[in-house]
């Protein structure tokens, strides 16, 4: 990455009060930035700026706010080669997986720019006394929203979560992961070029436990994406302050191959579902349940597809899977595979690190004979490791798939969509993709996306994905007569009159 670009992006951050951290490209081990860190004073400055900017921004019509993100959409698509380079450098992922993030931002920007006006519009509600009480439901922006995002999908999980908050009239302060901060800063720069006034969206830098905590102690709402363990801490800090939060957390997602599935198609689909961004994807498949009648044939087809995968993270569309992002990911992945192997699992493909390609590369790995005593059976690996299991029936596949505390994403492969829907309805999962791994549900942003159980609370996408950044306000206007006894009327007569009125309203179907 060019030094001038790095310096220009870093200069955008509200940071400088604390000492810098060095950031290295995972695929090569080469340092590309000394990233300044935000002090408490920097965070305070960011909030003071945000509070002033938010008032002015919220006063603008929704259509004007939305128009900024139509231009943002166009700029991101037009200048994608630069952000693809940045995302790849920061994460080590393959270019095609970085492009998924560009697509995500385009889809979300277009969607919210289109629907925000109607979702945020004042809505008439039924009054308690029809005709006399006129009620409307308004949507007020929360104020200043903190978006704390991880490193695995740095463009999608910072920009796509910030933009509905901003269109709803909030100011946003983003805290990206240090590893992937330049991506967020790039999106922030593009948003300002698209017309977003300075101060409406700012970026602070630092570790979650320090700067993240400082943000949550001042924000009016927190949008957090990361692990379940950290999500619990964020929730308790937000609960202390009685502010709202949305938590997008971990997963241990199941993919079910029913006995009528198209074997070639589902094997290819399972590769996309398990190894996008080297499995460092919350929606990634880590468990595959294959009907026993087709198990041998399916597993052979799947392993053949996995063995064809080309590893690399050069800045071109020529590899199928990139590197892991951190040393600690490599440690977890190796530990899960080694423990499983030691306890009797069979490695059908992969199963080893590839230091010849870069410091954190690990082969796409398929395990069989995995049992409940192995960490890989239940714990999220968050890497390119997937286990295959036999299922004797749809019921058995559903029971095994639901044997988890998580519930983020699931996938069902069948030629019979009706059967697929029936299986989907029984899966405890926030999303179920039929004949696709994750991107059908994830990319369909008109529908909500989020987890059950340990996978989180709150939703992104759809109406929920913007309304969560607002508070409802009810305005009721009482006309002509008060809701009280008329002059000279006793309380008892008033009660009897109202009783008659309630019965009449029930009979005529009024509220
Ligand atoms: P992590 O929880 O360790 O860190 C995630 C982010 O939270 C980091 O940037 C970190 O700096 C920050 N953080 C840490 N402590 C914090 C605190 N006390 N307050 C505020 N922020 C804090 O998770 P990780 O292992 O780095 O990230 C991967 C996890 O994220 C996986 O479990 C994955 O499934 C999950 N994830 C979920 C989604 C989703 O949409 N559901 C998307 C991507 C990743």
The DSSP secondary structure of 473-485, one letter per residue, reads EEEEEE-SS-SSP
Q: Give the pLDDT score at 382.
A: 98
Indicate which residue's Cα is closest to atom 6 of ligand 1. 150
Mean pLDDT of 484-491: 96
Confidence of residue 18 (pLDDT cuts 50, 70, 90): confident
Q: Give the pLDDT score at 101.
A: 98
The CA 452 to ligand 1 mean position distance, Å, reads: 17
Is ligand 1 within 6 A of the CB of residue 212? yes
The whole-angstrom separation of Cα 202 and Cα 266 is: 43
* CA gyration radius, the chain: 26
Confidence of residue 17 (pLDDT cuts 50, 70, 90): confident
Q: What order do you get walking across the sheet with 244-248 strand by strand?
A: 201-203, 171-175, 144-148, 221-225, 244-248, 456-457
Residue that is written with structure tokens 């595959």 in the block: 288
Residues 191, 19: contact at Cβ < 8 Å?
no
The whole-angstrom separation of Cα 463 and Cα 466 is: 6
Is ligand 1 within 6 A of the CB of residue 234? yes
Q: Give the pLDDT score at 147.
A: 98
Mean pLDDT of 144-158: 98
Is ligand 1 within 6 A of the CB of residue 406? no
pTM exceeding the 0.85 threshold for the entire prediction: yes
The whole-angstrom separation of Cα 511 and Cα 130 is: 8
- Exposure string of 456-479, with b = 16+ CB inside 10 Å and e = fewer, is bebbbbbebbbbbbbeeeeeeeee
Residues 335-372 have pLDDT tens digits of 999 999 999 999 999 999 999 999 999 999 999 999 99
For 406, residues 6+ apart whose C-beta sits below 8 A from its C-beta are: 228, 250, 251, 252, 253, 380, 451, 452, 453, 454, 455
Q: Considering Cα of 139, then 142, then 144, then 145, what sign does the dihedral take? A: negative
Residues 27, 313: contact at Cβ < 8 Å?
yes
The CA 152 to ligand 1 mean position distance, Å, reads: 9
User: Does residue 320 sit in helix, strand or coil?
Assistant: coil
The whole-angstrom separation of Cα 298 and Cα 295 is: 5
The CA 160 to ligand 1 mean position distance, Å, reads: 16
- Encoded tokens for 253: 């997602």
The CA 380 to ligand 1 mean position distance, Å, reads: 13
Is ligand 1 within 6 A of the CB of residue 176? no
Q: Give the pLDDT score at 510.
A: 62
H/E element holding 222? strand 221-225
Mean pLDDT of 113-130: 97
Query: Which atom of ligand 1 is found nearest the CA of 151?
Result: 9
Mean pLDDT of 118-142: 96
Residues 238, 222: contact at Cβ < 8 Å?
yes
The whole-angstrom separation of Cα 496 and Cα 82 is: 73
Mean pLDDT of 7-21: 93
The CA 175 to ligand 1 mean position distance, Å, reads: 12
C-alpha distances (whole Å) from 112 to each of 165, 185, 467 are: 10, 21, 11
Fold of 3-249+462-471: Aldehyde Dehydrogenase; Chain A, domain 1 (3.40.605)
What residues pair up with 390 in beta bridges, in sequence order? 290
For 229, residues 6+ apart whose C-beta sits below 8 A from its C-beta are: none
Is ligand 1 within 6 A of the CB of residue 311? no
User: Using CA atoms in the order 437, 440, 443, 449, what is the torsion angle rounded to 10 degrees?
Assistant: -80
Indicate which residue's Cα is closest to atom 11 of ligand 1. 208
The whole-angstrom separation of Cα 219 and Cα 77 is: 31
Residues 493-504 have pLDDT tens digits of 999 999 999 999
Ligand 1 pocket: which of 206, 227, 238, 450 to mutate (most atoms <8 Å of CB)?
227
For 426, residues 6+ apart whose C-beta sits below 8 A from its C-beta are: 398, 402
Ligand 1 pocket: which of 35, 150, 281 to mutate (most atoms <8 Å of CB)?
150
Question: Quick count: other Cβ atoms within 10 Å of Cβ 62?
Answer: 19
| Cα-Cα end-to-end distance for the chain | 63
Ligand 1 pocket: which of 148, 178, 230, 278 to mutate (most atoms <8 Å of CB)?
230
Is ligand 1 within 6 A of the CB of residue 199? no
Look at residues 5, 6, 66, 71 and name the one whose alpha carbon lies nearest to residue 35: 6
* CATH code matching the domain that covers 253-449, chosen among 2.40.50.140, 3.40.630.30, 3.40.309.10, 3.40.109.10: 3.40.309.10
> In the chain, what's the furthest Cα-to-Cα distance?
93
- For the chain, the average pLDDT equals 97
Residues 70-114 have pLDDT tens digits of 999 999 999 999 999 999 999 999 999 999 999 999 999 999 999
Mean pLDDT of 387-407: 98
Q: Does 3-249+462-471 match 253-449 in CATH topology?
A: no
Q: Give the pLDDT score at 511.
A: 56
What are the extents of the domains in the chain?
3-249+462-471, 253-449
For 102, residues 6+ apart whose C-beta sits below 8 A from its C-beta are: 76, 77, 80, 83, 84, 155
Residues 47-65 have pLDDT tens digits of 999 999 999 999 999 999 9
DSSP 256: E
For 7, residues 6+ apart whose C-beta sits below 8 A from its C-beta are: none
The CA 180 to ligand 1 mean position distance, Å, reads: 13
The whole-angstrom separation of Cα 172 and Cα 69 is: 14
Mean pLDDT of 432-456: 98
Active site (catalytic) residues: 248, 282
Confidence of residue 509 (pLDDT cuts 50, 70, 90): confident
Q: Give the pLDDT score at 178.
A: 98
Residues 222, 162: contact at Cβ < 8 Å?
no
The whole-angstrom separation of Cα 161 and Cα 477 is: 36
What residues pair up with 134 in beta bridges, in sequence order? 477
What residues pair up with 174 in beta bridges, in sequence order? 147, 203
Residues 221-266 have pLDDT tens digits of 999 999 999 999 999 999 999 999 999 999 999 999 999 999 999 9
The whole-angstrom separation of Cα 247 and Cα 221 is: 11
């Amino acid at each position: 990455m060019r030094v001038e670009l790095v310096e220009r992006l870093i200069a955008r951050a509200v940071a400088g009060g604390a000492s810098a951290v060095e950031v290295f490209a995972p695929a090569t081990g080469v340092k590309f930035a000394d990233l300044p860190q935000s002090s408490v004073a920097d965070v305070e400055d960011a909030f003071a700026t945000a509070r002033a900017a938010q008032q002015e921004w919220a006063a603008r019509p929704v259509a004007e706010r939305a128009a900024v993100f139509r231009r943002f959409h166009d700029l991101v698509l037009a200048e994608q080669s630069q952000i693809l380079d940045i995302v790849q450098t920061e994460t080590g992922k393959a270019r095609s997986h970085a492009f998924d993030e560009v697509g995500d931002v385009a889809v979300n920007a277009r969607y919210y720019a289109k629907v925000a006006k109607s979702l945020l519009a004042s809505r008439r509600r039924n009054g308690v006394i029809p005709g006399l009480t006129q009620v409307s439901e308004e949507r007020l922006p929360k104020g200043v929203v903190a978006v704390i995002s991880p490193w695995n999908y740095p463009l999608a999980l910072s920009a796509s979560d910030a933009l509905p908050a901003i269109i709803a009239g909030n100011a946003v302060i983003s805290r990206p992961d240090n590893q992937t901060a330049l991506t967020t800063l790039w999106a922030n720069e593009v948003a300002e070029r698209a017309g977003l006034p300075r101060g409406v969206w700012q970026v602070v830098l630092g570790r979650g436990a320090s700067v993240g905590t400082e943000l949550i102690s001042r924000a009016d709402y927190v949008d957090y994406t990361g692990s379940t363990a950290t999500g619990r801490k964020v929730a308790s800090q937000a609960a202390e302050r009685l502010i709202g939060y949305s938590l997008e957390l971990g997963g241990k997602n199941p993919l079910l191959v029913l006995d009528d599935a198209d074997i070639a198609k589902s094997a290819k689909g399972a590769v996309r579902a398990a190894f996008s961004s080297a499995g460092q994807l919350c929606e990634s498949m880590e468990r595959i349940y294959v009907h026993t009648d087709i198990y041998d044939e399916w597993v052979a087809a799947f392993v053949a597809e996995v063995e064809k995968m080309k590893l690399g993270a050069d800045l071109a569309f020529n590899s199928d899977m990139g590197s892991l992002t951190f040393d600690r990911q490599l440690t977890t992945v190796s530990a899960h595979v080694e423990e499983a192997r030691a306890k009797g699992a069979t490695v059908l493909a992969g199963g080893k690190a590839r230091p010849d390609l870069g410091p954190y590369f690990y082969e796409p790995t398929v395990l069989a004979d995995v049992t409940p005593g192995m960490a890989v059976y239940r714990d999220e690996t968050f890497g390119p490791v997937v286990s295959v299991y036999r299922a004797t029936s749809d019921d058995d596949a559903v029971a095994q798939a639901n044997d988890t505390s998580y519930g983020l994403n699931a996938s069902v492969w069948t030629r019979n969509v009706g059967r697929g829907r029936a299986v989907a309805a029984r899966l405890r999962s926030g999303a179920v993709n039929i004949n696709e791994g994750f991107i059908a549900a994830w990319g369909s942003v008109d529908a909500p996306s989020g987890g059950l159980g340990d996978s989180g609370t709150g939703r992104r996408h759809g109406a929920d994905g913007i309304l969560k950044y607002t508070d409802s306000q009810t305005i009721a206007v009482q006309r002509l007569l008060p809701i009280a006894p008329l002059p000279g009327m006793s309380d008892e007569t008033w009660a009897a009159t109202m009783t008659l009125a309630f019965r009449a309203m029930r009979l005529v179907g009024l509220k």
